[in-house]
């Protein structure tokens, strides 16, 4: 095995490779298998030859860009990215990937297992041995399972490690009987939940993928497929108008094989045939850089109002596709409402025309005040979309990440539905562009079948489940699988994430709840550096990075090609860092389950096995030996048109909604709205409506007169890379504020400012810019929280989640407050 895992051919060497070098490399691989610590490549490069080692970026922007480490004497010197094949088909790493060496070699790397000696969050630890760490974790797992049951164990969301063997935690925990399951995720929490009511839920499918009542192969909603949405390449091929709501691939999909590159080609193609791009956002985002005429500024959290007013214009001007609405949809007007809703003015049309629900006509004038978009601009936009042959309407995940996001995301999807422009060439369903439909290799199996836990909670609800889990039910907390949680969370397991505090929300509240060690009794954190979440660990484990072990992954989210990269290690892991696979195997051993965990394979053998399994199924991929030599394999994928099958044959290919159609009106949601316990002011609507939401439109006060939203910033992938000084220097953590709001507060570009919300206070540098709408500030998400939690709690790091108030959304119980905030700003 070890020969193949570390085989390095002469072709990998640069120029002056001699036989001695090749021998040394082969010899160096002997330490890989079964080694206590990670494989040691240092000896491999003993004679000072420069060698290329392939690897990949593993953080969660989904780019999975390709690295070629140039390695000498066991140290990475620098990186070249993907320069293989055609320029256009190269997964070129972004600024963060190009800084991975800084992370690998950072002096702040965790290098020893540690146990907490101070208070949670204080960051005081003491080094311990791996034996003690593993024994402690095993003991706590046994105790928790025996005392409370597997439901008391929860793995917090962590997406910082995209690799086929990247996260063996679930596999281990499932072997032990399971853990409390998460629903949805932090990226698409609101839409992932609500869209299933409109476009179909897997709960309406049988084991063969057929509709449970209609008996035909049906489509369930997922934000991560190429069925429900079209590829960007389809816009490039055939669209004449691209309308983007809160979508900025230049900030969220930055790699050179990722959507940002795809989008550049979309613009050139669409404009080349006389078409246009419209970019609706509260910021003049980087995707519109150089093309500012594409920007339509809007107040954040009001997309549903804009969409509703556009719908109004189309209805008034008779521009809707009534045949489509009656054939493919439920609930546009009285004609297709379900029996339970008939005769009560509950249709979407009634809502828009002011004859149902709030009895307010959704005119452009009505929307203008809410959205800050002039009524005439709304009319022009409506008529421009209506006039397009193939409008490609697409939303990012920002609009749904509001407290009213469950409505906003559906409201935007109403646009292509109303004019019947979906499932057709050049169009899209209003959802985010498609994700890849080919994955060449699978991941380490999670052994979900070994779990006996049926209970699930919305991923954002873990904090409530720590605080008062035993009170949480299906109707008051969105619990699924059981009516009521049997107990609260007692054991938090976090791997490659920062979602305990930094990336969760309302950090001050999290801190307070975790101080009570009778609630959550044990916290395991596993990372490469001391994140803010890591400060809450009871046991903190130092992880080896993927550049320090054999690594394999696919193309990630880039939907226009498929690929796989295999390579590493490039460098030896520092100190006592170990691979998570080996550590999980050791924990399994304490339960007598080592063999069940490993199935007799080392991590390297798993990777080879997973590769060869994928290659056999695919039929076109290189052999294992070939991929170890060439590092990367990739090929272009033809674009997909979202819901094309449904459009072509709605009866033969229904959606997995109860009706098989697009449920503009969802009877299921109407039932939920009636039966769930909701807080005052919370609503769940069977149709997409505009509601302001908690700390949304109209909620500003004298104390907090500005709206605030987060956004993805180029210097970080969420919080990953947030400690790399070189990145901070070229892309500073700055609050965007309009000159109008800045001048009123005497704030100038570069001033350090205080931003206060009902939840907390941060310090951050001002970027005074006309690139943000007046009345709203924008704060780049993911900066590292840095506050004295025993003192004033002022976050000098400028983490947006110090400001967000923990207030799960009505339906999905999600993190909509991430972009719905009210604040005051002053010069610090």
Partner 1 sequence: MTQYAFYFDSTRCTGCRTCEMACKDYKDLSADIAYRKVYDYEGGGFTQFEDGTCQATSFVYHVSLGCQHCQNPACVQVCPTGAMHKDAETGLVSVNADVCVGCGYCHMACPYNVPTVDRSLGHSVKCDGCADRVAQGKRPICVESCPLRALDFGPIEDMQKKGEQANIAPLPDASYTNPCLFIKACDDARPAESRDGEVANPLEVL
Q: Which is nearer to partner 1, 259 or 337 (CB)?
A: 259
Total residue count of the chain as it appears in this document: 828
Binding residues among 183-202 for partner 1 as defined by CB under 8 A: none
Cβ neighbours, 10 Å, residue 398: 28
User: Which of these, 812, 483, 475, 474, lies nearest to 674 by C-alpha position?
Assistant: 475
Backbone angles phi, psi at 815, to 5 degrees: -90, 45
* Rounded distance between C-alpha atoms, residue 245 and residue 772, angstroms: 15
The single residue among 21, 74, 101, 693 that binds partner 1, judged by CB under 8 A, is: 101
> What Å distances lie between residue 172 and 77, 160, 584, 594, 774, CA to CA?
36, 18, 6, 10, 50
* Separation CA 388–CA 385 (nearest Å): 5
**Mask for 246-265, x = binds partner 1 (CB under 8 A):** ----x---xxx-x-xx--x-
- CA 706 → CA 778, 795, 822, 824, distances in Å? 10, 19, 6, 6
- DSSP secondary structure string for all residues of 616-667: HHHSSSPPHHHHHHH-EEEEE-----TTHHHHH-TTTS-BBSTTSSEESS-H
Applying CB under 8 A, among 141, 463, 466, 727 the residue interacting with partner 1 is 727
- Cβ proximity of 525 and 53 under 8 Å: no
CB of 395 closer than 8 Å to CB of 245: yes
Residue 380 binds partner 1 (CB under 8 A): no
Tokens coding 459: 């991923």
Q: How buried is residue 146: exposed, middle or buried, by Cβ count under 10 Å (0-12/13-18/19+)?
A: exposed
Q: Which residue among 346, 767, 785, 813 contacts partner 1 (CB under 8 A)?
A: 767
Q: Which of 6, 92, 162, 346 binds partner 1 (CB under 8 A)?
A: 92
* Beta strands 241-245 and 51-56, pairing class: unpaired
Looking at 373, 386, 759, 762, which residue binds partner 1 (CB under 8 A)? 373
The answer to the question of residue 88 lying near partner 1 (CB under 8 A) is yes
Give, rounded to a whole angstrom, the gap between the first and last alpha carbons of the chain.
Answer: 60
Residues 6+ apart with CB under 8 A from 792: none
Mark residues 668-707: x for contact with partner 1 by CB under 8 A, - for none: ----------------------------------------
User: Least separation, in Å, of the C-beta of 345 and partner 1?
Assistant: 29
Residue 101 CB, nearest approach to partner 1 (Å):
6
Q: Which residue among 30, 95, 214, 754 contacts partner 1 (CB under 8 A)?
A: 95
3-state helix, strand, coil in the chain (%, to 5): 35, 20, 50
Q: Which is nearer to partner 1, 547 or 686 (CB)?
A: 547
Least distance between partner 1 and beta carbon 283 (Å): 10
Contact mark string toward partner 1, 198..237, x via CB under 8 A: ----------------------------------------
Instruction: Give the nearer residue to partner 1 in terms of CB position, either 268 or 470.
Output: 268
DSSP state string for 55-100? EE--STTS---EEEEEEETTEEEEEEE---S-GGG-----TTGGGH
Neighbours of 265 (CB within 10 A): 15
Angle between helices 364-371 and 375-387 (to 10 degrees): 110
Pick from 693, 682, 700: which is nearest to 756 by CA? 700
In the bound complex, what is the minimum distance in angstroms from residue 730's beta carbon to partner 1?
5
Closest separation in Å from C-beta 29 to partner 1: 27
For residue 87, the minimal CB distance to partner 1 (Å) is: 6
Stretch that binds partner 1, among 198-206, 515-523, 603-611, 766-774 (CB under 8 A): 766-774
Taking the complex as a whole, the smallest distance from the CB of residue 547 to partner 1 amounts, in Å, to 13
Assess 87 for contact with partner 1 (CB under 8 A).
Answer: yes
Q: Would you list the DSSP string of 504-549?
A: TS-HHHHHHHHH-TTTS-EEEEEESB--TGGGG-SEEEEBPPGGGS
Residue 729 within binding range of partner 1, rule CB under 8 A? yes
Q: Which stretch binds partner 1 (CB under 8 A): 26-34, 83-91, 410-418, 781-789?
A: 83-91
CA atoms within 13 A on the CB side of 333: 13
- Give the DSSP H or E segment for 197: helix 189-199
**Least separation, in Å, of the C-beta of 348 and partner 1?**
25
CB of 413 to partner 1, least distance (A): 25
Using CB under 8 A, which of 134, 161, 284, 584 touches partner 1? 284
Query: With CB under 8 A as the contact rule, which of the stretches 26-34, 53-61, 88-96, 303-311 interacts with partner 1?
Result: 88-96
Indicate the residue among 81 and 228 with the shorter CB distance to partner 1. 81
Looking at the Cβ atoms of 194 and 372, the one nearer to partner 1 is 372
Contacts of 30 (CB under 8 A, 6+ apart): 2
Beta-bridge partners for 767: 736
Q: Is 776 a binder of partner 1 (CB under 8 A)?
A: no
Q: How many residues sit close enough to partner 1 to count as binding (CB under 8 A)?
A: 65
Q: Tell me if 289 contacts partner 1 by CB under 8 A.
A: yes
Cα dihedral value 134, 139, 142, 148, nearest 10? -120
Residue with tokens 């491999």: 44
C-alpha dihedral (69, 71, 74, 77), degrees to nearest 10: -90
Q: Which residues contact 748 (CB under 8 A, 6 or more apart)?
A: 742, 766, 768
In the complex, minimum distance from the CB of residue 188 to partner 1, in angstroms, rounded to a whole number: 23
Phi, psi angle pair for 349, to nearest 5°: -60, -40
* 475 or 769: CB nearest partner 1: 769
Nearest-angstrom CA–CA distance, 368 and 436: 38
| Contact flag: residue 79 with partner 1 (CB under 8 A) | yes
725 contacts partner 1 (rule: CB under 8 A):
yes
For partner 1, the binding residues in 290-309 under the rule CB under 8 A are 290-293, 295, 297
Q: Give least dist CB 434 to partner 1, A.
A: 20
374 binds partner 1 (CB under 8 A): yes
Tell me whether residue 256 or residue 405 sits nearer to partner 1 (CB atom).
256
**Least distance in Å: CB of 783 to partner 1?**
16
Nearer to partner 1, 7 or 264 (CB): 264
Nearest approach, Cβ of residue 182 and partner 1 (Å): 32
User: Closer to partner 1 at the Cβ: 470 or 743?
Assistant: 743
Q: Which is nearer to partner 1, 261 or 332 (CB)?
A: 261
State the DSSP code for 460: G
Instruction: Give dist(CA 238, CA 234) in Å, integer.
Output: 6
Q: Binding pattern to partner 1, positions 330-369, x when CB under 8 A?
A: -----------------------------------x--xx
CB atoms near residue 700 (< 10 Å): 18
* Smallest gap from residue 290 Cβ to partner 1 (A): 3
Cβ proximity to partner 1, 295 vs 324, nearer residue: 295
Smallest gap from Cβ 276 to partner 1, in A, equals 12
Binding-site member from 749, 788, 826, 827 for partner 1 (CB under 8 A): 749
Nearest CB to partner 1, comparing residues 367 and 492 = 367
Pick one of 115, 119, 468, 732: the residue that binds partner 1 (CB under 8 A).
732
Whether cis (ω within 30° of 0) applies to the bond prior to 569 is yes
Which of the ranges 27-35, 96-104, 131-139, 207-215 carries the binding residues for partner 1, by CB under 8 A?
A: 96-104
Task: Kindly list the residues in this chain that would bind partner 1 in the complex (CB under 8 A).
Answer: 77-81, 83, 87-88, 92-96, 98-99, 101-102, 250, 254-256, 258, 260-261, 264, 284, 286-287, 289-293, 295, 297, 365, 368-369, 371-375, 377, 714, 725-732, 738-740, 749-750, 765, 767, 769-771, 773-774
């Amino acid at each position: 095995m070890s020969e193949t895992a570390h085989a390095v051919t002469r072709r990998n060497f640069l120029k002056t490779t001699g036989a001695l070098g090749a021998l040394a490399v082969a010899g160096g691989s002997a330490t890989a298998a079964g080694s206590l610590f990670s494989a040691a490549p240092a000896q491999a490069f003993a004679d000072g030859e420069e060698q290329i080692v392939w690897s990949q970026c593993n953080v969660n922007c989904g780019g999975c860009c390709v690295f070629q480490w140039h390695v000498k004497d066991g140290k990475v010197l620098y990186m070249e990215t993907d320069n293989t094949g055609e320029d256009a088909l190269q997964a070129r790493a972004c600024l963060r990937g190009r800084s991975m060496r800084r992370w690998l070699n950072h002096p702040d790397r965790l290098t020893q297992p540690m146990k907490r000696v101070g208070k949670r969050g204080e960051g005081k630890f003491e080094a311990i041995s791996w034996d003690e760490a593993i024994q402690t974790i095993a003991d706590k797992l046994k105790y928790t399972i025996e005392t409370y049951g597997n439901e008391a164990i929860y793995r917090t969301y962590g997406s910082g490690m995209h690799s086929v063997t990247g996260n063996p935690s679930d596999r281990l925990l499932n072997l032990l009987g399971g853990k409390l399951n998460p629903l949805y995720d932090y990226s698409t929490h609101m839409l992932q939940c609500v869209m299933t009511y409109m476009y179909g839920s897997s709960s309406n499918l049988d084991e063969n993928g057929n509709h449970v009542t209609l008996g035909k192969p049906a489509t369930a909603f997922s934000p991560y497929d190429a069925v429900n949405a079209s590829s960007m390449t389809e816009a490039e091929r055939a669209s004449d108008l691209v309308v983007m709501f809160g979508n900025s691939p230049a900030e969220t999909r930055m790699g050179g094989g990722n959507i940002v590159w795809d989008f550049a080609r979309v613009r050139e193609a669409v404009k080349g045939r006389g078409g246009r791009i419209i970019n609706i956002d509260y910021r003049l985002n980087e995707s519109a850089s150089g093309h500012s005429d594409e920007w339509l500024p809007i107040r954040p959290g009001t997309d549903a109002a804009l969409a509703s007013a556009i719908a109004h214009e189309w209805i008034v001007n008779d521009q809707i596709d009534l045949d489509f609405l009656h054939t493919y949809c439920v609930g546009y007007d009285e004609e297709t409402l379900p029996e339970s809703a008939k005769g009560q003015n509950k249709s979407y049309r009634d809502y828009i025309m002011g004859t149902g629900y709030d009895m307010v006509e959704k005119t452009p004038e009505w929307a203008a005040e809410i959205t800050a978009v002039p009524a005439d601009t709304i009319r022009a936009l409506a008529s421009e979309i209506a006039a397009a042959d193939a409008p490609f309407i697409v939303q990012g995940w920002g609009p749904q990440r509001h407290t009213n996001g469950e409505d906003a995301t559906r409201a935007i999807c109403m646009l292509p539905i109303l004019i019947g422009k979906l499932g057709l060439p050049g169009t899209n369903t209003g959802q985010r562009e498609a994700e890849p439909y080919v994955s060449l290799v699978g991941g380490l199996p999670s052994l979900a079948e070994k779990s006996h836990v049926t209970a699930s909670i919305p991923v954002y609800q873990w904090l409530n489940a720590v605080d008062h889990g035993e009170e949480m039910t299906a109707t008051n907390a969105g619990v699924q699988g059981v009516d009521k949680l049997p107990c609260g969370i007692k054991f938090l397991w976090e791997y490659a994430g920062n979602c305990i505090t930094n990336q969760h929300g309302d950090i001050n509240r999290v801190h307070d709840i975790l101080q009570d060690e009778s609630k959550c009794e044990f916290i395991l954190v596993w990372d490469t550096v001391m994140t803010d979440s890591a400060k809450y660990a009871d046991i903190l484990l130092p992880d080896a990075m993927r550049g320090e072990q054999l690594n394999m992954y696919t193309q990630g989210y880039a939907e226009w090609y498929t690929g796989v990269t295999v390579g590493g290690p490039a460098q030896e892991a520092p100190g006592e860092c170990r691979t998570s696979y080996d550590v999980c195997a050791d924990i399994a051993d304490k339960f007598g389950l080592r063999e069940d965990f490993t199935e007799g394979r080392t991590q390297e053998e798993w990777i080879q096995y997973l590769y060869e399994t994928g290659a056999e199924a695919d039929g076109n991929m290189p052999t294992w030996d070939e991929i170890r030599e060439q590092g990367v394999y990739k090929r272009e994928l033809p674009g997909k048109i979202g819901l094309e099958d449904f459009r072509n044959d709605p009866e033969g290919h229904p959606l997995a909604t109860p009706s098989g159609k697009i449920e503009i009106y969802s009877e299921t949601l109407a039932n939920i709205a009636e039966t769930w316990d909701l807080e005052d002011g919370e609503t769940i609507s069977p149709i997409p409506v505009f509601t302001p939401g908690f700390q949304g439109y109209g909620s500003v006060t004298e104390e907090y007169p500005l709206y605030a939203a987060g956004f993805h910033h180029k210097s970080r992938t969420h919080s990953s890379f947030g400690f790399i000084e070189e990145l901070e220097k070229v892309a500073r953590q700055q609050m965007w504020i309009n000159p109008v709001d800045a001048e009123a507060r005497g704030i100038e570009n570069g001033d350090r400012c205080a931003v206060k919300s009902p939840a907390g206070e941060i310090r951050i540098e001002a970027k005074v810019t006309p690139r943000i709408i007046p009345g709203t500030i924008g704060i780049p998400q993911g900066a590292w929280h840095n506050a004295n939690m025993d003192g004033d709690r002022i976050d000098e790091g400028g983490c947006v989640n110090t400001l967000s108030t923990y207030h799960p959304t009505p339906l999905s119980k999600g993190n909509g407050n991430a972009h719905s905030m009210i604040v005051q700003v002053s010069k610090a």
